Amino acid sequence: MEKKRFERPIIKKLQTGMPNKFGMKTEYDPITEIDGVPVKELIAKYGSPLYVISEKTIRETCREANRAFSTRYPKVQFAWSYKTNYMNAVCNVFHSEGSWAEVVSGFEYDKAIANGVPASKILFNGPDKSEKDLEKAIKHGSYIHIDHFDELYTIIGLTAKMKERPKVAIRVNMDCGIYPMWSRFGFNYENGEAWEAINRIMLSKKIDLVGLHSHIGTYILAPYAYGTAATKLADLAAAIDKKYNHHIKYIDLGGGFASKNTLKGAYLPGSDTCPTFDQYADAISSALINSQINHEHLPVLILETGRALIDDAGFLLGTVLANKRLPEGKLATIIDIGVNLLFTSFWYDHKITPAQQFSHHTEDAIIYGPLCMNIDIIRENVQLPPMKKGDNIIISRIGAYNMTQWMQFITLRPNIVMVDTKGKAHVIRGNETAISINENEKVPEHLTKFEL
Ligand SMILES: *Cc1c(COP(=O)(O)O)cnc(C)c1O
């Protein structure tokens, strides 16, 4: 028998909270490129921090979602949720994949029109539509998803002076077994409010009720909840058919599918708990095809899913500014990405990966952002290999909500780059400058001069 090779013993510090006495291997390998473009090159060229969007990932995710639904239901239409990420280039990737636009404000409505979306392919949601917004949407034939009775009465008022017939849906909120229930948007199903809204619309005779809409919440891990929602909307559609012999054109199940991000405090990583598009599609399509709706009049199924389609395509690249040893002994790493750029760090444990090779020694660290605020914490506790000042890191799955909910605070917002399907990088939003930030400020005459 061959003599075994000698291996030098190693001494390794035990980490508290680890599942075995050898500690845990770092969860990941370094990420050194995004779709073939070296991370270091991106940072050298476009600065740090830097948002990077992978066009390839958006298209792949979009196609996967489309496949899951269109193989199970004959008429499917996706509408891109602008508020999830309304960078024009991002919206246009979705539009080029066939998505309509789903907007929740006049600002977003105008953005969709400017991007070239036909008005007849815009769904207008949200509680805040001004009379002007409604007039515009009616004139151009967009779909208005009515949120409350006051909005309905405004629309009825507009029909008296406009020749175009408004095309509307009502937003319905309901008990789908998900709590707390989102009851603040739309009309309630259980207490009859939704049915009343429908009857008032039908009574007006000047409004076309074309759809029924719900958006039950966000990051919903239970596909069955969508089955319940679809059943309730289908029941309303069947009741409308029965009472008025009127066929609803579409049922819109909104968004809210979970992305693979890990919620803070979750026991398992999001990549293990996130349902697949197939599971959501199963729940929704079964509910619709098994409902009372006659198959000759099956409505189009509209989906407005946001975060599940874009989270994976977004990365935030940054740089280590410093390391500190806190008085209690813990390692603190300060990076140039703060909560102003990563709003979602308030509820996700984002995956942070070094962008260069590292040793497999790891240590519990707290990751601070650069803001002078105590709440500026990117990760409370993460196992990372030691990194030096100047090393780069990548935060993954940040495509949803960060580029729309970001805050301008003490620094300027950075570049956003999209890597196209051929591996070419394009700036899709330039970094802010002192000029762009100051351009809307005005100093009153008496404050323009002072002596110190
Ligand atoms: C925000 C929103 C969406 C998208 O939600 P996600 O949770 O990102 O999928 C869809 N529809 C409406 C009405 C919304 O407000």
Within-domain flag for 340: yes
Helix (H) and strand (E) counts for the chain? 13, 20
214 lines ligand 1 (CB under 6 A): no
According to the model, what pLDDT value does residue 265 have?
87
**CATH code for position 385:** 2.40.37.10
In a domain, 14, yes or no: no
**What local confidence, expressed as pLDDT, does residue 136 receive?**
98
Give the domain range for residue 207. 125-305
Instruction: Determine the residue of 81, 103, 129, 277 to mutate for testing ligand 1's pocket, defined as the one with the most ligand atoms within 8 A of the Cβ atom.
Output: 81
Does 296 lie in the same domain as 170? yes
| Span 32-55, pLDDT tens digits | 999 999 999 999 999 999 999 999
The total number of structural domains in the chain stands at: 2
**In testing the pocket of ligand 1, which one of 94, 102, 252, 312 has its CB within 8 Å of the most ligand atoms?**
102
Residues 142 and 260 placed together within one structural domain of the fold: yes
Going by pLDDT thresholds of 50, 70 and 90, the confidence category of residue 7 is confident
Same domain for 134 and 268, yes or no, is: yes
Q: Is residue 148 domain-shared with residue 244, that is, in the same domain?
A: yes
Mutational pocket test of ligand 1: of 305, 307, 309, 404, the residue with most ligand atoms within 8 Å of the beta carbon: 305
Mark whether 272 and 149 lie in a shared domain.
Answer: yes
User: Residue 15's pLDDT band (boundaries 50, 70, 90)?
Assistant: low
Per-residue pLDDT band for 361 (boundaries 50, 70, 90) equals confident
122-124 vs 377-384, strand pairing mode: unpaired
Q: How far is the CA of 401 from the centre of ligand 1 (A)?
A: 10
* Residue 399, ligand 1, Cβ within 6 A: no
- Please identify, by atom number, the ligand 1 atom nearest to the C-alpha of residue 305: 9
Q: How far, in Å, is the centroid of ligand 1 from the Cα of 296?
A: 29
Our answer on whether the CB atom of 218 is closer than 6 Å to any ligand 1 atom is: yes
The residue among 272, 305, 338 that closes a domain is: 305
In the predicted model, what is the mean pLDDT of the chain? 94
For 33, the token pair is 């490129």
Q: How far is the CA of 427 from the centre of ligand 1 (A)?
A: 26
Kindly state whether residue 193 falls inside one of the protein's structural domains: yes
Same domain, yes or no: 187 and 274: yes
Asked, for residue 383, whether it belongs to a domain, the answer is yes
User: CB-hemisphere CA count at 13 Å for 179?
Assistant: 1
- Mean predicted confidence (pLDDT) in 213-238: 96
Contacts of 451 (CB under 8 A, 6+ apart): none
CATH of the domain at 269: 3.20.20.10
pTM score, whole prediction? 0.93
Question: Is 206 inside a domain boundary?
Answer: yes
Shared-domain flag, residues 137 and 165: yes
* pLDDT the model gives residue 160: 95
Expressed in angstroms and rounded, the spacing between residue 74 Cα and the centre of ligand 1 is 23
Distance between Cα 3 and ligand 1 center (Å): 64
Give the pLDDT confidence of 136-145 residue by residue, as tens digits: 999 999 999 9
Q: What is the pLDDT of residues 52-75, one digit of tens each?
A: 999 999 999 999 999 999 999 999
Q: Is the CB of 99 under 6 A from ligand 1?
A: no
In a domain, 322, yes or no: yes
Q: Name the band, by pLDDT with cuts 50, 70 and 90, for residue 309.
A: very high
Is the C-alpha dihedral spanning 125, 128, 133, 135 positive or negative? positive
Mean pLDDT of 397-419: 97
Domain assignment present for residue 25? The answer is no
What is the spatial distance between Cα 68 and Cα 2, in angstroms, rounded to a whole number? Answer: 55
Q: Are residues 263 and 346 in the same domain?
A: no
Angle between helices 131-140 and 149-161 (to 10 degrees): 60
The average pLDDT across 212-225 equals: 95
* pLDDT score, position 2: 79
Residues 230 and 377 in one domain: no
Question: Given this model, what pLDDT does residue 17 score?
Answer: 47
Closest CA to 311 of 65, 9, 78: 65
The helix/strand/coil state of 37 is strand
**Residue bearing the CA closest to ligand 1, atom 10:** 255
Give the span between the Cα atoms of 393 and 337, in whole angstroms: 10
3-class SS shares of the chain: helix, strand, coil, % to 5: 35, 20, 45
Looking at the structure, do residues 144 and 273 belong to the same domain, yes or no? Answer: yes
- The alpha carbon of 354 and the centre of ligand 1 are apart by a number of angstroms equal to 32
Tell whether 202 and 269 lie within a shared domain. Answer: yes
Ligand 1 in reach of 275 Cβ (< 6 A): no
Cis ω on the peptide bond leading into residue 327 (within 30° of 0)? no
Atom of ligand 1 nearest to the CA of 171: 13
Question: Is there an atom of ligand 1 within 6 Å of 173 CB?
Answer: no
The domain boundary, picked from 246, 280, 305, lies at: 305
Whether residues 243 and 134 fall in one domain: yes
Residue 355 lies in a domain: yes
Q: Which of 275, 305, 335 is the last residue of a domain?
A: 305
